[in-house]
Amino acid sequence: RKEVEQDPGPFNVPEGATVAFNCTYSNSASQSFFWYRQDCRKEPKLLMSVYSSGNEDGRFTAQLNRASQYISLLIRDSKLSDSATYLCVVRYRHSGSARQLTFGSGTQLTVLP
Amino acid sequence: IAGITQAPTSQILAAGRRMTLRCTQDMRHNAMYWYRQDLGLGLRLIHYSNTAGTTGKGEVPDGYSVSRANTDDFPLTLASAVPSQTSVYFCASSDSAGTQYFGPGTRLTVL
């Protein structure tokens, strides 16, 4: 079983739609959680961190459920520019490095005009 | 230089050849990382370095070596390339909060 699992999609949604992605993680010692965005053939970039109380950044809302070990990302009022792959990322303390990240394989989103 | 740079952008390599992928950052981050990204598998950590002078193995270290002689540079070497090392390679560094910043990647094809 992968440590971080995501539905690979693809999700094809019309402009203006609301779309949600879920992600589950297997290591209960996980400490920090993030969503990264990756455009086609580009490097991943941090979209937002995920806090236990949930957090919002404009049209993006991230939530964490530690008891169920899942993370979600909600995108409201989708724009064409939101088309990308969204990576769920978990950090937990490894024996060698405290700051290693484990990446999900990503969920592909295409927003259609 | 702003952020992280990687070189080359892409490379086609014959199997058995030695290859070094370069990575340089100007953010004075202590920690640096090398990942490979393959379709359906996501990003997998090859090697990391918590600070200059130290390195560690990640999830998929076999066939790769790294060095960290100074804060800015973190080269990745394939001693004898094999076709299974065909991939996109990303270098990253992390700030004191643990946020990772990635370079633009190197597309490597081993024939």
| Lowest-confidence region among A3-12, A24-33, A50-59, A100-109 | A24-33
Q: Dump pLDDT digits (tens) for A66-105.
A: 999 999 999 999 999 999 999 999 987 655 555 678 899 9
Write down the residue that tokens 């993030």 correspond to: A34
Phi, psi of B89 (to 5 degrees): -110, 125
Q: Using the beta-carbon criterion (under 8 Å), do B57 and A96 form an inter-chain contact?
A: yes
b (16+ CB within 10 A) / e for B62-78: eebebebeebbebbbeb
Q: What is residue A65's predicted lDDT score, i.e. its pLDDT?
A: 92
B9 reaches A (C-beta below 8 A): no
Enter the tokens of residue A27.
């290591």
Q: Using the beta-carbon criterion (under 8 Å), do A97 and B31 form an inter-chain contact?
A: yes
Query: How far is B86 from B12, CA to CA, in rounded Å?
Result: 9
Q: What is residue A8's predicted lDDT score, i.e. its pLDDT?
A: 85
Q: What is residue A51's predicted lDDT score, i.e. its pLDDT?
A: 87
CB < 8 Å to A46, chain B: 99-101
Q: Dump pLDDT digits (tens) for B62-90.
A: 999 999 999 999 999 999 999 999 999 99
Query: How far is B49 from B67, CA to CA, in rounded Å?
Result: 8
B28 reaches A (C-beta below 8 A): no
Which residues have a Cβ under 8 Å from the Cβ of A7 and sit 6 or more positions away?
A21, A22, A107
| Lowest-confidence region among A31-35, A86-90, B94-98 | B94-98
Write down the residue that tokens 């937002």 correspond to: A48
Mean pLDDT for the stretch of residues A13-40: 92
Which residues have a Cβ under 8 Å from the Cβ of B97 and sit 6 or more positions away?
none
Which of A43, A100, A104 shows the shortest C-beta gap to B102?
A: A43
Q: What is residue A96's predicted lDDT score, i.e. its pLDDT?
A: 54
Q: What is residue B97's predicted lDDT score, i.e. its pLDDT?
A: 79
Mean pLDDT for the stretch of residues B14-39: 95
Mean pLDDT for the stretch of residues B17-35: 96
Average pLDDT, whole number, for chain B? 94
CB < 8 Å to B31, chain A: 97, 99
pLDDT grade, residue A43 (50/70/90)? very high
Closest chain A residue by Cα to residue B91: A43
Is B104 a residue whose pLDDT tops 80? yes
CB < 8 Å to B96, chain A: none
A97 reaches B (C-beta below 8 A): yes
Query: How far is A87 from A54, CA to CA, in rounded Å?
Result: 18
Q: What is residue A1's predicted lDDT score, i.e. its pLDDT?
A: 65
Average pLDDT, whole number, for chain A? 90
Q: What is residue B78's predicted lDDT score, i.e. its pLDDT?
A: 97
